[in-house]
């Protein structure tokens, strides 16, 4: 039981130290910026996919009626 308690204490001290430093805050900020970039890319690519699907649907319809 003692090794678990000492490991918990070490993890707790390390976590508190990380929360007090600015490096942890900077890493979180970079993570949030990256998350926003990924969300913007997903939204943009979804719009592009919908546009492309619509375009190919119109091409298919015109080719089908041209036969």
What is the reported pLDDT for 22? 72
Question: Please, are residues 16 and 10 in contact by the beta-carbon 8 Å criterion?
Answer: no
Give me the mean pLDDT over the 35-52 stretch.
94
Q: What is the pLDDT of residue 2?
A: 62
Residue 1 has pLDDT above 60, yes or no: no
User: Is 70 exceeded by the pLDDT of residue 29?
Assistant: yes
Higher pLDDT, 49 or 67: 49
13-32 burial, b at 16+ Cβ within 10 Å, e below that, comes to eeeeeeeeeeeeeeeeeeee
User: DSSP class of residue 21?
Assistant: S
């Amino acid at each position: 039981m003692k090794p678990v308690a000492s490991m918990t204490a070490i993890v707790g001290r390390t976590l508190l130290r990380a929360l007090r430093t600015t490096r942890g805050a900077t890493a979180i900020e970079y993570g949030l910026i990256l998350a926003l970039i990924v969300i913007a890319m997903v939204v943009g690519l979804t719009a592009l996919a919908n546009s492309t699907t619509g375009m190919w649907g119109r091409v298919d319809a015109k080719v089908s009626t041209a036969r």
